[in-house]
C-alpha cells in the first residue's frame, strides 16, 4: 500500500505532455508541440567547455551539498550585477534546478498545515510541492479576471497559518510581469509581517519591449540577514540549459543552512559536470541570453498576432517568459476538453489552463520555431472554425474534418 502522500500527488502535467508528444512523434504522427517549457537553442559554448573540462579530467566527484565554491562565486557576481545586492557564500545554495531550490526552501520553512499563498494562474508544480512539504496551498485569483491579483487580495488571504508567499514574475503560464508597485507592496508586507517570500525569478531575464527585470531587492533591507525574501534562479531557461538541472537560491544564512542540511540528506550536491557547465554559462560571454531574448520576442509578436486573428480568442500580450495564456472560453470552457480535442484532431499539444488554476485558457508556448508557431496556430484555427474548409494538409497528409 502506498502512502497517503504518494496517492495524493499528481504527476507533472507538463512533463507528461512532453512524453505524450514524444510517443506520438515516434509513431510518425506530425505533432506540433506548443506546450513545451524549454528554448530550442543550444547551451552556450562556455557552458559546454566548462563541463567538458571537468569530464576530461575523469575525476567527477561529490561536491559540497550546497554547491562548489566557484559556482557560488559566480552566483554572487550574478546577484551583484542583476540585483545590485552583495551577498556571501553562506547566503547561496545551488540545487538540482530551481525546482529543488523551491522544494528544499519549502521543506525548511513549513510545519504541517502551514499555508503558502500564491496567485493564479500559477506554475503547475507549486500546489503539489507545497503539499509534499506538508503545507496547504492557498490560491489567490484576481477578482477582475486578470492575471495579477491586487495587493489587497493577497493580503486578505493571509491568516495566522500563513508561512510563505510565492511570487513568480514574469509568470508561467501568463507571461505577465507583475507591476513593480505590486511586488514592492508584497515584499514590504512580508518583511513587516515576518512571512517568507519566495521570489521565483526563473524567467527574470526573459523580458521584452525593452523593459528591465523587476528587482525585488530594491524593496528589502540592505542586510540580507534581516530579510525574509528568498530569490530563486536557474540556468535552465535563460541559457537554454534545462537538462543540466542547475538552480540556486539566495536568502538569509539561517534559512540557507537549513536548506543545505535538507539537500545534503536528500540528493547531496548537484551533479558536478552540470555545476561546471553553469559556471561556464554565468562567467562566459552573455551574448546567448540577448540572442534568445530577441528570438523569443519576435516569436511572441508573431504568436500574439496570429492568435488575435482567431475570432473570440482573448490574448494578453506576455511581457516576459515564452508562454501565452489565451482565453478560449468562447469555444470551450473546459480546458482539458479543448486541449484533448486539439491533440486528437490536429496533433497540436497545448497545456490546459486548469493545470495552472484558470479554466477556459490554454498555455501556448513560443519557445519553438516560427514555423511550428504559425502552423500550430493555423491548425488550431482550423479545428475551431466551423466554417473552415473541410480539408487541411497536415505534415504531408490530407485531413478531412469529418474523417478525424
Query: Rounded to an integer, what distance in angstroms lies between the CA atom of residue 83 and that of residue 124?
Result: 27
Q: Say whether residue 247 binds ligand PLP (CB under 6 A).
A: yes
Spatial CB neighbours of 277, under 8 Å, sequence gap ≥ 6: 43, 47, 48, 50, 51, 235, 241, 244, 246
- Shortest separation between residue 175's beta carbon and ligand PLP, angstroms: 11
- Shortest separation between residue 368's beta carbon and ligand PLP, angstroms: 15
- Shortest separation between residue 241's beta carbon and ligand PLP, angstroms: 9
- The dihedral over CA atoms of 293, 350, 130, 203, expressed in degrees to the nearest 10, equals 0
Q: Say whether residue 99 binds ligand PLP (CB under 6 A).
A: yes
| DSSP symbol at 316 | P
Span from 96-104, 265-273, 302-310, 355-363 in contact with ligand PLP (CB under 6 A): 96-104
Span from 16-24, 91-99, 110-118, 380-388 in contact with ligand PLP (CB under 6 A): 91-99
- Shortest separation between residue 247's beta carbon and ligand PLP, angstroms: 4
Span from 17-25, 92-100, 144-152, 187-195 in contact with ligand PLP (CB under 6 A): 92-100
Query: Rounded to an integer, what distance in angstroms lies between the CA atom of residue 39 and that of residue 148?
Result: 25
Span from 61-69, 93-101, 154-162, 373-381 in contact with ligand PLP (CB under 6 A): 93-101
Beta bridge partners of 117: 138, 165
Q: Of the candidates 202, 350, 365, 381, which one interacts with ligand PLP according to CB under 6 A?
A: 202
Could you give the string, one character per residue 225-244, with x where binding to ligand PLP holds by CB under 6 A and - elsewhere?
---------x-x-----x--
Region for 384 from its dihedrals, namely left if φ exceeds 0, alpha if ψ lies in -120 to 50, beta otherwise: alpha
Query: Rounded to an integer, what distance in angstroms lies between the CA atom of residue 42 and that of residue 48?
Result: 10
- Measured from the CB atom, is 97 or 149 closer to ligand PLP? 97
- Shortest separation between residue 320's beta carbon and ligand PLP, angstroms: 11
Q: Please say whether the dihedral angle defined by the alpha carbons of residues 14, 400, 326 and 8, taken in this order, is positive or negative.
A: negative
Amino acid at each position: 500500500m502506498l502512502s497517503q502522500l504518494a496517492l495524493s500527488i499528481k504527476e507533472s502535467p507538463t512533463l507528461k505532455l512532453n512524453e505524450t508528444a514524444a510517443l506520438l512523434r515516434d509513431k510518425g504522427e506530425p505533432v506540433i508541440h506548443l506546450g513545451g517549457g524549454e528554448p530550442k537553442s543550444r547551451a552556450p559554448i562556455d557552458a559546454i567547455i566548462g563541463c567538458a573540462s571537468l569530464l576530461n579530467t575523469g575525476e567527477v566527484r561529490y561536491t559540497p551539498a550546497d554547491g562548489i565554491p566557484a559556482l557560488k562565486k559566480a552566483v554572487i557576481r550574478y546577484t551583484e550585477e542583476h540585483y545590485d545586492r552583495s551577498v556571501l557564500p553562506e547566503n547561496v545554495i545551488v540545487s538540482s534546478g530551481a525546482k529543488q531550490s523551491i522544494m528544499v526552501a519549502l521543506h525548511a520553512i513549513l510545519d504541517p498545515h502551514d499555508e503558502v499563498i500564491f496567485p493564479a494562474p500559477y506554475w503547475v508544480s507549486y500546489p503539489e510541492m507545497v503539499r509534499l512539504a506538508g503545507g496547504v496551498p492557498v490560491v489567490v485569483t484576481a477578482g477582475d479576471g486578470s492575471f495579477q491579483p491586487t495587493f489587497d487580495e493577497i493580503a486578505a488571504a493571509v491568516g495566522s497559518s500563513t508561512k510563505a508567499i510565492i511570487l513568480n514574475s514574469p509568470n508561467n503560464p501568463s507571461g505577465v510581469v507583475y507591476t513593480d508597485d505590486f511586488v514592492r507592496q508584497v515584499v514590504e508586507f512580508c518583511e513587516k509581517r515576518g512571512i517568507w517570500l519566495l521570489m521565483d525569478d526563473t524567467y527574470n531575464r526573459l523580458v521584452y519591449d525593452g523593459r528591465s527585470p523587476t528587482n525585488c531587492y530594491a524593496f528589502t533591507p540592505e542586510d540580507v540577514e534581516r530579510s525574509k525574501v528568498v530569490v530563486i534562479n536557474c540556468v535552465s531557461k535563460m541559457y537554454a540549459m534545462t537538462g543540466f538541472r542547475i538552480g540556486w537560491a539566495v536568502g538569509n544564512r539561517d534559512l540557507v543552512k537549513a536548506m543545505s542540511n535538507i539537500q545534503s540528506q536528500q540528493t547531496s550536491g548537484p551533479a558536478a559536470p552540470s555545476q561546471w557547465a553553469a559556471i561556464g554559462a554565468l562567467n562566459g560571454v552573455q551574448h546567448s541570453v540577448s540572442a534568445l531574448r530577441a528570438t523569443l520576442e519576435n516569436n511572441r509578436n508573431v504568436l500574439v498576432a496570429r492568435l488575435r486573428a482567431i475570432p473570440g480568442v482573448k490574448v494578453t500580450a506576455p511581457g516576459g517568459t515564452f508562454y501565452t495564456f489565451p482565453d478560449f472560453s468562447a469555444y470551450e470552457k473546459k480546458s482539458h476538453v479543448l486541449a484533448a480535442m486539439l491533440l486528437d484532431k490536429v496533433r497540436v499539444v497545448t497545456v490546459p489552463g486548469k493545470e495552472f488554476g484558470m479554466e477556459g485558457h490554454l498555455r501556448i508556448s513560443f519557445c519553438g520555431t516560427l514555423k511550428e508557431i504559425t502552423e500550430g496556430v493555423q491548425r488550431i484555427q482550423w479545428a475551431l472554425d466551423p466554417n473552415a474548409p473541410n480539408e487541411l494538409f497536415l505534415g504531408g497528409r490530407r485531413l478531412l474534418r469529418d474523417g478525424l
